[in-house]
Amino acid sequence: MSSSSSSLINTLHIIQTTLTLCFYPIWLILGIIGCLLNLIVFSRPHLRKMSCSIYFFATSIDHLMTLLVGIGPALYSLSYPNPQIESLLFCKLRGYIFQICLMLSRWFIAFACIDRYVLTSDKVNLRNFAKSTIAYRIIIIIICFWLIICSHRIIFYDIKGNLCGIVNNMAAAIYHSLYVIIGGGIFPIMIMIICTRLIRQNLEYKHKKRIELSVSSYQRNPSDQQVLNILFVQIICYIIFTTPQLCNLMFITMSITLHNRSSEHLAIESFFSFLAELILYLFPVTSFYLYTLTSHTFRKELIKSIRLIIGRHNRFTSIIDNKSVVYHVEHQQNTINVCENSVKNN
């Protein structure tokens, strides 16, 4: 290995370590807090009955797992040997679980968009699709589907240098890139965009129909606009945060056709994969903050949840204090009785 090649590899390693130390702890803290708050809001009794909220609840669980499985090992490797390049078993399992988590969140949101579309439809048959029981079934089907589709990671993942991935099988690498680009990129984006357009058409139709029925008493439903705002923001953020990963997959697929790749080439691949993941984590990290900024209903439910938690804490504290007062009074009374009995005996 030449001195210039060694210098480049060391420089990339230093930059990656610095970025990991600066950003990953922030990503992890903000992401975990946001996901937990999402779970609290979407678990409220009346929201649990809404099929759309069930998809968001499942997405929040998946986002939490994505952050733990993805960022956790990266932070661990700052102080200890990187388990992804030290253990082949960990390399395979981490890649398998991480890929499943990424796919699940994308398709949960895609079906949430479908659910929102059918809710705005004037056709009864379509509206019947937006039921909590159907949402649970679809979530189970999506999980089972990606558990099978992502299994090639366990078979073909390998370690070469500082890179954990599909490095020795060109056919498997091409299949992996195509299924991620199509199944995790193109199809979910198409579904989100198409559903947004259909929802807009449904709302415009309802708008015209309400005006025809009653011009004077008509008021636009603010929740309809909130739905469009959330969809639009999600689509934009999804495209921005996932595009680097898709481009990186295409780069790795093209480079695997090259024989006898140098250590310098592998270090560059590993560094670009790291940057793609760094940006990709912003999607689960920002979900709570996007909901808060774009939905008045979500903010209102969040405030109610926080007040409820604070109220329960205050009631619990009050009960403890009351028990302490009762115990103190009883203790004082027992002391007085003992003193009186002692005086009488004397």
8 Å CB contact between 225 and 257: no
Note the pLDDT of residue 223: 52
- The pLDDT tens digits for 291-312 are 888 777 778 888 888 888 787 6
Note the pLDDT of residue 168: 75
Residue 144, Cβ density class (10 Å: 0-12 exposed, 13-18 middle, ≥19 buried):
exposed
pLDDT at 32 over 90: yes
pLDDT at 325 over 80: no
- Residues in Cβ contact with 255 at an 8 Å cutoff, skipping those fewer than 6 apart: 261, 265, 269
Note the pLDDT of residue 186: 86
DSSP letter string over 202-266? HHHHHHHHHHHH-STT----HHHHHHHHHHHHHHHHHHHHHHHHHHHHHHHHHHTTSSS--HHHH
Q: pTM (2 decimals)?
A: 0.81
8 Å CB contact between 87 and 165: no
Distance CA 141, CA 158 (A): 29
The number of angstroms, rounded, from the C-alpha of 111 to the middle of its chain's C-alpha atoms is 15
- Residues in Cβ contact with 319 at an 8 Å cutoff, skipping those fewer than 6 apart: none
Residue 80 backbone zone (phi > 0: left; psi -120 to 50: alpha; other: beta): beta
Architecture of domain 9-213+236-306: Up-down Bundle (1.20)
In the chain, what are the domain boundaries?
Answer: 9-213+236-306
- The pLDDT tens digits for 206-216 are 767 776 666 54
